[in-house]
Amino acid sequence: MPRKPALRAVAADEKAAKKPPMTVLAAAEGGTRVDELRAMRRRIARALDDPNTAARDLASLSRRQLEIGREIEAVEIAESEEQSVVAPTGDEAWDENAI
């Protein structure tokens, strides 16, 4: 049985190997919301590129592809404090007499 290669440090000019993309099922079971959206977007893109995809399905697949892209962008913007439209503010003191 062959031995696994020993672990080593990555050289400065090397890049770490990319993980293969998650499947929709794997993303749904153990990924984040963005992982799931990206997996769905990849799956729809494959269907759109497939010449055997029925013409009647192309419009709905294209529309959903665009919607998923917008959802991913919205989640990424919401997670980024620099681009978020939600201002991080502190809590205010409760005034029980205000009405």
| Interval 48-80: pLDDT, tens | 999 999 999 999 999 999 999 999 999 888 887
Q: Residue 2: which H helix or E strand, with range?
A: none
Q: Which residue did the predictor score with more confidence, 69 or 84?
A: 69
Task: Provide the whole-model pTM.
Answer: 0.64
Return the SS3 of 59: helix
C-alpha torsion sign, points 13, 16, 17, 20: negative
Indicate if the pLDDT at residue 43 is higher than 90: yes
